[in-house]
Amino acid sequence: MFTGLIEGLGQVEKLEPGGGEVKIWIIPPWPIRETGMGESVAVNGACLTVNQKGERAFGAYISGESLSRTGLGRLRPGSRVNLERAMPLNGRLGGHLVSGHVDCLGRIEEISARGASTRLTVSLPREHMRYVAEKGSIAIDGVSLTVNQAGEESFSVNIIPHTMKETALQLVNSGQYVNIETDLLAKYVEKLLRPGTAPEGGITFEQLTRLGF
């Protein structure tokens, strides 16, 4: 589990395609000795497992499923990526609950200045927009953000100068695609309310509370 608070920018060292998958090597902003074998690292919001270490980079496989759902296949040597290591159980949840399982790609429709901050308008497939709510949480390339406005096909977020400076969002352009992870809790609530899955007689606020929502 991640928080959407980026630890730093990594750099893609090389990519090794093969068998419908890609092995990616990334130079992290922290000493390579601090990266453990089998550790989970979110790369632009996609959870990858470290399975090899070099002198300055770690290697991880990008599965065919991840290639189909994310923009990781568009990365090239030298690309800068947002990195976050998994949150320890005694860590602080400073952002929001991020699973590292990217739902889809969003398209940046507009980038505009809002005082010292930057506003991004991002379009999504309609089937994913139902999980986006005004003042709810969303992860864009792994960055935890608050939704300012949500329409039928797009939403907007405000990025403060610190976030823009410390993440790869500073590099995005209009028309570019970004990894999107929608709110985790919204998916579970939808499943509970789906016909055939709710308890007899429907579901109540009391039952949702008891289930932890």
pLDDT digits 0-9 by tens, 132-179: 999 999 999 999 999 999 999 999 999 999 999 999 999 999 999 999
Tokens at 133, concatenated? 């709510």
Contact 6, 84 (CB under 8 A): yes
pLDDT digits 0-9 by tens, 41-85: 999 999 999 999 999 999 999 999 999 999 999 999 999 999 999
Length in residues, the chain:
213
Least confident of 7-11, 50-54, 102-106, 189-193: 189-193
Helices marked H in the chain: 64-69, 126-129, 161-166, 184-193, 205-210
Look up residue 199 and give its DSSP letter. Answer: P
Phi, psi (degrees; rounded to nearest 5) at 88: -70, 155
Domains 8-85 and 104-188 agree in fold:
yes
Least confident of 16-25, 127-136, 180-189: 180-189
CATH number for the segment(s) 8-85? 2.40.30.20
CATH number (3.40.50.1970, 2.160.20.10, 2.40.30.20, 3.20.20.100) of 104-188 reads 2.40.30.20
